[in-house]
Amino acid sequence: MSQNRRNHRMPIARSVAVIALPLLLYITHYTEASTSVSCAPTGLMCELLAQPELARITDPRPEFTWVVDFPCPNEKQTAYQILVASSAERLGWDQGDLWNSGRIESNRSVAVEYAGEPLKSNTPYVWKVRTWNKDARPSEYSQPQRFRTGTLRDDYSTTCYPLATTRIDPIRLVQKTEGHYFVDFGWAAFGTIELTLSNPSAGHEIEIHLGEVPAGSDSIDRRPGGSRRYRMMKLKLSEGTHTYRLVITRDKRNTGSRAIKMPADVGEVMPFRYCEIVNSPCELKASQIRQIAVHYPFDETASRFLCSSKVLNDVWDLCKYSIKATSFCGVYVDGDRERIPYEADAYINQLCHYGVDREFTMARHSHEYLMVHPTWPTEWILHSVLMAWADYLYTGDTESFEHYYDDLKAKTLIALAREDGLISTQTGLVTDEVLRSIHFKGKLRDIVDWPHGNILGLKGGYGETDDFEFKPINTVVNAFHYRALVAMSRMARVIGKNDDAEKFAHAAARVKQSINSRLFDSDKGIYVDGEGSTHSALHANMVPLAMGLVPDEHVASVARFIKSRGMVCSVYGSQYMLEALYAAGEGDYALELMTDATSDRSWPHMIYDVGTTITLEAWDNKYKPNQDWNHAWGAAPANIIPRCLMGVEPLEPGFAKVRIKPQVGSLRSGSLDLPTVSGTIHVDFASMPAESFVLNVDIPANVEAMVYLPRLDSDLPDIVLDGRLVKGAIEGQFIAIDHVGSGKHRFERRR
């Protein structure tokens, strides 16, 4: 009898508990909210994906990232709490049934690893986070973010988005003759077209012409030459009104064994801006045709740059769009001719992508692909180490370089070093074992720049190496080797491999000393091309300066030589030429190069003379006759403008600390929104050259800055910061203020 009563009462007790738990949680939440700060974390990422619900997470211990969003100045996160739940309903009641981290005393807001109950494959989850500020007051919880697992796997891989498509309307449609239409979509894109046509009877056939290069105002150049794209395809129509998506035919060159293949659900693509429809059975209106552009997911609003130079604004727009448009494979490739990833191309892509979008997975995936699919140039192998370090600086996440740590050690090419630390591929040290360690089958060759003058039938002495004299000990190769050793030492230190860190730091110091004693012409104050050479090419000087090899006392002479040569390098080389100029404080000349509308070696030439809307593989057809019109290694200003001209770079991983060191040249004003893993950094300035400089910054919470202003020919270190006079530290031609906290700040410097 008593047992029956207990059984009868149990459901009632359960129901009371079900009601009581949410009530208790509500009371607790209300009490905490009454003492909380209002701004919840934003910018949530799971596995570096801002929209993880679009992908499938395969890591059984995914990593979470968020932006700390406290409104007051000089704020920092002191603790966080993460909840991961099996349903939005549970999370709404602040129940982390998979993981409730509790309050964790930490300022970390990037790459926090999941530590809850085991996740299941092919299952949806939801998470949110709250933080505590420097006064130990909690924020509200963030908005929830959903993610879904795929097949969970213990072996390491980077989760990426599927490719996205965007429908783009024409900006102009012209009827040339009956049934013949010319369509301009405004910007070139990789994709196909979709059109809606009415046809009275089945079997009618139309011609569809797609191309990148115009012939006059209303036609496509059907023989554009080189690797500029044109194709004509026929389409049979059915009876009635239907919408058709053109199936792009394959190109044998860029769908070969080494090329990155398009996903079957996306289909083949080609780059085009223009379309001609021939033999249309009906009138064609702009609303009936659209360009279907394929690209990696891209947030157009994440970054912004605007300045007092219309030319530089146009250069920025060209380069920013190039990063989006050339992401069509989901891996950085060398344009449409081959669709093959190359390390140097990918490194420039990576830095540019960081400059224009808060997106890190495509860069990481491309880098990791190249770790095991390397290419032939010696310097390209070394670029893999630079890519790994950049990935860590911009994400604050060690997961990738820890996994590839031993491969990265090999890719410093330290195995090729002779006693003085300098390396060569021509001294018998490139053994089969060395090649296996870097996953390469073939022959390593120094490249310096591309193309060389003796290939592709180039006439008139054209080539992009400035007559560089190739020697077994190559100055450019060893400058990259030095930078790779420095990066490897730093990565080793981060993960506690201190013996390796010391080894690589010592090797870097030895290489630096050897380059400056053996490859520097002290009489001329510049570097020679290699051991035994008396020739000094642009590259032999701009690369050491960009890599941080030049002693302070020689920076001026090396910079003068670089300026005397001008842009006698390729669009690839321009990355390091511009970096070198900014490193030497030559921002005025760097700005001149980026805005030079008189030379055919410039981005304005691409825009105004050539008419491309994606950066070219080379400055002009005459410098590379087989070039394509869709090569993102030509988009260097997309990273140079935010990193060097506006001067915003991470000093510590994940932008825990940032340097803001604008070198704006003759610009009178400018404004930048730079998306970072820790939030958007805003910088704007007003400049009266040699008279005054006003800088406004808005730094996200949990981020600290070191800010530089120009000296303006004054030896006084005085700066007005937020209305009060402070003294900075004189560093060359700049005044530096360290430990600038988050929030909005105004800096003023006058002569």
Q: At what angle do helices 555-565 and 539-546 cross, to 10 degrees?
A: 130
Q: Which two tokens stand for residue 448?
A: 């310096």
Side chain identity at residue 319, one-letter code:
C
Q: Is residue 158 part of a domain?
A: no
Whole-number Å distance between alpha carbons of 677 and 480: 27
| DSSP calls for 623-642 | T-TT--S--GGG-THHHHII
- Are the C-beta atoms of 673 and 682 separated by less than 8 Å? yes
555 & 409 share domain: yes
Residues 494 and 357 in one domain: yes
Which residues have C-beta within 8 Å of that of residue 104, sequence separation ≥ 6? 79, 80, 81, 82
Q: How long is the chain?
A: 751
Same structural domain, 493 and 434: yes
Residues 501 and 625 in one domain: yes
Structure tokens at 349: 């892509």
The reply to whether 385 and 441 lie within a common domain is yes
Nearest to residue 491, comparing CAs of 369, 411, 413, 398? Answer: 398
Helix (H, G, I), strand (E, B) or coil at 654: helix
Listed residue (388, 387, 346) closest to 260, CA to CA: 346
CA end-to-end span of the chain:
96
The tokens for 216 are 């006059």
**353's tokens:** 């992508």
- Domain boundary, last residue among 121, 148, 175: 148
Q: Whole-angstrom Cα distance, residue 704 to residue 700?
A: 8
Q: How many Å apart are CA 570 and CA 537, to the nearest integer?
A: 13
CA-CA-CA-CA torsion sign (525, 530, 535, 540): negative
Q: Which residues pair with 80 in a beta bridge?
A: 104, 131
**Residue 30 in domain:** no
Asked if residue 16 belongs to a domain, the reply is: no
- Co-location of 339 and 255 in the same domain: no
Domain that holds residue 235: 164-295
> For residue 79, what is the domain's CATH number?
2.60.40.10
* 679 CB neighbour count, 10 Å cutoff: 25
Tell me, yes or no, whether 519 lies in a domain.
yes
**425: its two tokens:** 């591929």
| Alpha helices, DSSP H, located in 151-283 | none
With the C-alpha atoms ordered 655, 586, 311, 216, is the resulting torsion angle positive or negative? negative
Determine the Cα–Cα distance for residues 688 and 681; give it in Å rounded to an integer.
24
Q: Which residues sit opposite 199 in a β-bridge?
A: 240
| Bridge-based pairing state of the strands 657-660 and 704-710 | parallel
Identity at 301, one-letter amino acid code: T
Same-domain pairing of 705 and 669: yes
8 occurs within a structural domain: no
Same domain, 569 and 498: yes
Are 583 and 692 within one domain? no
* 184 and 213 both lie in a single domain: yes
Is the CA virtual torsion 517, 519, 521, 525 positive or negative?
negative
**Backbone φ and ψ of 624, nearest 5°:** -155, 90
Determine how many CB atoms are found less than 10 A away from the CB of residue 29: 16
Closest Cα to residue 395, out of 15, 21, 720, 49? 49
Q: Are 681 and 634 spatial neighbours (Cβ–Cβ below 8 Å)?
A: no
pLDDT at 34: 44
Q: Find the CATH number of the domain harbouring 451.
A: 1.50.10.10
Last residue of a domain, one of 116, 148, 180: 148
pLDDT for the residue 2: 34
Residue 263 included in any domain: yes
If asked whether residues 81 and 170 sit together in one domain, one would say: no
Tokens encoding 381: 């192998």
Distance CA 223, CA 215 (A): 10
Q: How far apart are CA 124 and CA 521, in angstroms?
A: 64
Divide the 751 residues of the chain into consecutive groups of 10 and give the mean pLDDT of each group.
Answer: 33 32 38 60 98 97 97 95 98 97 98 98 98 96 98 95 98 97 98 97 95 95 95 97 96 90 96 98 97 98 98 98 98 95 98 98 98 98 98 98 98 98 97 98 97 66 87 98 98 98 98 98 98 98 98 98 97 98 98 98 98 97 93 98 98 98 98 98 95 97 98 90 96 96 96 85
Q: Is 620 part of any domain?
A: yes
Does 319 map to a domain? no
Is 230:221 a contact under the CB 8 Å cutoff?
yes
DSSP-derived 3-state class of residue 343: helix
**711 shares its domain with 742:** yes
Report the CATH number at residue 215: 2.60.120.260
The structure tokens 């996440």 sit at 397
φ and ψ at residue 496, rounded to 5 degrees = 80, 15
CA 472, 475, 480, 483 torsion-angle sign: positive
pTM of the complete model beyond 0.85: yes
Separation of alpha carbons 743 and 242, rounded Å: 55
Q: What is the pLDDT of residue 14?
A: 30
CATH number of the domain where residue 700 is located: 2.60.420.10
Report the interhelical angle of 539-546 vs 475-494 (nearest 10°): 10
Radius of gyration of the chain (CA): 29
- Number of domains present in the structure of the chain: 4
